[in-house]
Amino acid sequence: MERIKFDDNGLIPVVAQDAATGDVLTLAYANREAVEKTLASGESHFYSRSRAELWRKGATSGNTQKVIEVRLDCDGDALLYRVEPRGPACHTGERTCFFTALAGEGVGVAVGESGPRQGFGATLERLAGTIATRHREMPEGSYTAGLIRHGTPRVAQKVGEEAVEVVIAALGDDRIAEETADLVYHLLVLLEERGVGTDEVARVLNDRHG
């Protein structure tokens, strides 16, 4: 802690980075207490300049960040949290706060029908975050919440049904993308219901395939 150079307001900028992908998730600030709580708990803590209070990432949204490593830059005036995110980092529901591309000379922006294109991994993270929110709030009328209420047997049954639909699509028609999307969604619901994070699945895949 003695090597950290807090500014005149007692704060230091913190970059949160996905430890698995290297993606920058957010930029926030921390005071001494936030850094100490991060180191002690293994979860991201920051200091809100607008609210003038300490906050734990995911305290209200459930989108927490498990801190794998804290690094100090060469000047001692910025920190890097390497994290395993559970759900989106941004309050908008996006996986990262840096989802807005500014076009300019020499800058290429890939834009689809509904804005910048989202990769498969980013889409999964966003969907997993939405499912986690439904699980936490359990709103009436929500299909996701209804599945979770029925417990593991029902969710597992749906995964099996959707897997069969993928096989049928692969052998007989051109709806493979649609049926695969249904299967992936129900797999994410199953993971959420069983308390298994997508980061755990990613870690297994990385261990197996480098």
Measured in whole angstroms, how far is the alpha carbon of residue 77 from the centre of its chain? 26
Q: Is the pLDDT of residue 114 over 60?
A: no
Strand locations in the chain (E): 12-18, 24-30, 45-48, 53-56, 65-72, 79-85, 111-112, 115-116
Number of H helices, E strands in the chain: 6, 8
Q: Which helix (H) or strand (E) holds 104?
A: none
Which range, 18-27, 95-104, 122-131, is most confident? Answer: 18-27
Mean confidence (pLDDT) of the chain? 88
Architecture per CATH, domain 12-85, reads as: Roll (3.10)
Residue 108 has a pLDDT of: 52
Q: When comparing pLDDT for 210 and 80, which is higher?
A: 80
CATH class of 118-209: mainly alpha
Q: When comparing pLDDT for 99 and 107, which is higher?
A: 99
Tens digit of pLDDT for each residue in 158-188?
999 999 999 999 998 789 999 999 999 999 9
Q: If you ran DSSP here, which 8-state letter would residue 43 be given?
A: B
Dist CA 210 CA 167 (whole Å): 28
Residue 125 has a pLDDT of: 78
Residue ranges of domains in the chain: 12-85, 118-209
Please work out, in degrees rounded to the nearest 5, the angle formed at the alpha carbon of residue 196 by the alpha carbons of 88 and 136: 60
Tens digit of pLDDT for each residue in 25-38?
999 999 999 999 99
Q: Is the pLDDT of residue 112 over 50?
A: no
* pTM, two decimal places: 0.57
Q: Identify the band that residue 103 occupies on the pLDDT scale cut at 50, 70 and 90.
A: low
Task: Take residue 94 and report the two structure tokens written for it.
Answer: 């996006």
Q: Is the pLDDT of residue 143 over 70?
A: yes
